[in-house]
Amino acid sequence: MVAGIYIHIPFCKSRCSYCDFATGLYQSDIAERYVAALVREIRATTHTRNVDTIYFGGGTPSMLSPAQISRILSAVHESFEVQPESEVTMEINPGSVTSEILREFRACGINRASFGAQTFDDNELAKLGRAHSAADTLKTFHSLREAGFDNVSFDLIAGLPGQTFVGWQENVERSLELRPEHLSFYLLEIHSATPLAQHIERGIQPRPDEDLAGEMYEWMLERASLAGYGHYEISNLCLVGHESRHNTKYWTGAAYYGFGCSAHSYDGAGRRWSNERDVARYVDAIVSGNTPIVEQHELTQEEMCAEAVFLGMRMMRGIDTREYEQLYGVDLREQHREDFSRFEEAGLIEFEGDQVRLTRTGALMSNEVFASFV
Ligand code: SF4
């Protein structure tokens, strides 16, 4: 399988209350030093495989200038065989870019935008500490289209504190009206060290209702499917032919190489490694000629088998058990006979020929299902 490249840009305009990603506030001098370090790390890579996806994630990568993005992409092209027609994605936050800058990003080679809309309710956006309004979302979306982005993904979050079912329906309807090619939606997770977790702990914001979030998830799947979106992964839907090629690599065991602080990599053959999480320590390591890698792990055969199941089952097409047996020498149905029969009885998984996959209910309860395979 052809590999992918992930590039982490750890800067944001402000800090969202629910976020626990490795990201800090944007400062132009730090960003410039970071880009120089990134370019150096990419140029020093010893991995020279063909790649067909490049993904700028963060943080808010669109806070970098087109010239900086261009320098990073040039380093990637110098160090890797980037295939023609590669998918080159950038995460973009509403209100963070002008039409002119979007046109320049497009001209640099960015051909897919992952767009952090999250919700169309301004009160909810304010509670999340997002730095944009619903009007910004509409404006930036139209600017993306004008700049020639014909592959746009929307992120939406369900289960926000105080969010009602009707409010969620409104969010989904407004997203569908814009007809993005791809939709990612997440159930809000409360991470313990975040301001949102403290607000909930202190009763400033209500605790999200998990059952309601589940109903929101099911309703969205129904509604989006009526609008022509296929549900191809637990949290992702798209119009025909617009699956995220990059993220699919994570779920199917393909190699991907991460650059930048906190970036993770996998060689596709059992070795995982990750970089220093802190921006300053990452830059120092690169500048002083040291490796930014702080963790490496060689998966055992058992771990590779488990990963192939719980990552592969994220895809709604499921796993081909015959292919799995050829790859790992294990009869999956035999190996997990008891779990499979329990989950099948509960309506969480289903079999069709050699294929085993999650049902829609199973997708909602995937954590419980996957816990059996770890
Ligand atoms: S924009 Fe994204 S990465 Fe940045 S603080 Fe908000 S959630 Fe975190």
Q: Do residue 31 and residue 100 come from a single domain? A: yes
> Do 159 and 213 contact (CB within 8 A), yes or no?
yes
Q: Do residue 243 and residue 309 come from a single domain? A: no
CB of 197 sitting under 6 A from ligand 1:
no
Please tell me whether the peptide bond between 228 and the residue prior to it is cis, using omega within 30 degrees of 0: no
- Per DSSP, 43 falls in state H
Q: Whose CA is nearest to atom 6 of ligand 1?
A: 16
Q: Using the mean position of ligand 1's atoms as its centre, give its distance from the Cα of residue 372 in Å.
A: 32
Task: Give the gyration radius of the chain's Cα atoms.
Answer: 21
CB of 58 sitting under 6 A from ligand 1:
yes
Q: Do residue 117 and residue 176 come from a single domain? A: yes
Q: What is the pLDDT along the chain (374 residues), one digit of tens a residue?
A: 899 999 999 999 888 888 887 778 889 999 999 999 999 999 999 887 799 999 999 989 999 999 999 999 999 999 999 999 999 999 999 988 999 999 999 999 999 999 988 999 998 898 888 888 999 999 999 999 999 999 999 999 988 888 899 999 999 999 999 999 999 998 887 788 788 788 888 877 778 788 888 899 999 999 999 999 999 999 999 999 999 999 999 999 999 999 999 999 999 999 999 999 999 999 999 999 999 999 999 999 999 999 999 999 999 999 999 999 999 999 999 988 999 999 999 999 999 999 999 999 999 889 888 888 77
Compute CA distances 36 → 65, 72, 75, whole Å.
Answer: 13, 9, 10
State residue 240's pLDDT score: 97
Taking the C-alpha atoms of residue 352 and residue 345, their distance in angstroms, rounded to an integer, is: 15
3-class DSSP state for residue 65?
A: coil
Taking the C-alpha atoms of residue 37 and residue 349, their distance in angstroms, rounded to an integer, is: 46
CB of 159 sitting under 6 A from ligand 1:
no
**What is the widest separation between alpha-carbon atoms in the chain?**
58
State residue 80's pLDDT score: 96
Spell 137-161 as b/e; 16+ CB within 10 A means b.
bbbbbebbbebebebbbbbbbbbbb
Question: Nearest to residue 196, comparing CAs of 3, 338, 17?
Answer: 17
Domain that holds residue 91: 3-251
> Do 237 and 217 contact (CB within 8 A), yes or no?
no
**Does 171 fall in a domain?**
yes
Q: Do residue 90 and residue 200 come from a single domain? A: yes
Q: Using the mean position of ligand 1's atoms as its centre, give its distance from the Cα of residue 19 in Å.
A: 6
**Does 296 fall in a domain?**
no
Question: Residue 200, Cα to own-chain centre: how many angstroms?
Answer: 26
State residue 193's pLDDT score: 77
Q: Do residue 185 and residue 319 come from a single domain? A: no
Q: Do residue 358 and residue 229 come from a single domain? A: no
3-state SS, 179-217, equals: CCCEEEEEECCCCCCCHHHHHHHCCCCCCCCHHHHHHHH
**Does 288 fall in a domain?**
no
Give residue 316's region: left, alpha or beta (phi > 0; psi -120 to 50).
alpha
Torsion of Cα atoms, 144 then 248 then 108 then 146, to 10°:
-10
Q: Do residue 23 and residue 171 come from a single domain? A: yes
**Does 287 fall in a domain?**
no
Length of the chain in residues, anyone?
374
Domain count across the chain: 2
State residue 96's pLDDT score: 83
Q: Using the mean position of ligand 1's atoms as its centre, give its distance from the Cα of residue 132 in Å.
A: 12
Q: Do residue 29 and residue 133 come from a single domain? A: yes
> Do 109 and 69 contact (CB within 8 A), yes or no?
no
**Does 276 fall in a domain?**
no
Taking the C-alpha atoms of residue 151 and residue 112, their distance in angstroms, rounded to an integer, is: 5
Question: Nearest to residue 91, comparing CAs of 63, 64, 137, 57?
Answer: 57
Q: Which amino acid is at 170?
A: E
- Residues whose CB is less than 8 angstroms from the CB of residue 85 and which lie 6 or more positions away in sequence, other chains included: 52
Tokens of 82: 């980037």
**Does 66 fall in a domain?**
yes
Q: Do residue 10 and residue 100 come from a single domain? A: yes
* CATH for 36: 3.20.20.70
**Does 209 fall in a domain?**
yes
Q: Do residue 46 and residue 111 come from a single domain? A: yes
Q: Best mutation site among 9, 13, 15 for ligand 1, i.e. most ligand atoms within 8 A of its Cβ?
A: 15
**Does 264 fall in a domain?**
no
C-alpha count within 13 angstroms, C-beta hemisphere, residue 221? 18
Q: Do residue 69 and residue 138 come from a single domain? A: yes
Q: Using the mean position of ligand 1's atoms as its centre, give its distance from the Cα of residue 12 in Å.
A: 6
Q: Whose CA is nearest to atom 7 of ligand 1?
A: 19
Q: Do residue 243 and residue 98 come from a single domain? A: yes
CA 130 to ligand 1: nearest atom: 6
* CATH for 335: 1.10.10.920
- Per DSSP, 39 falls in state H
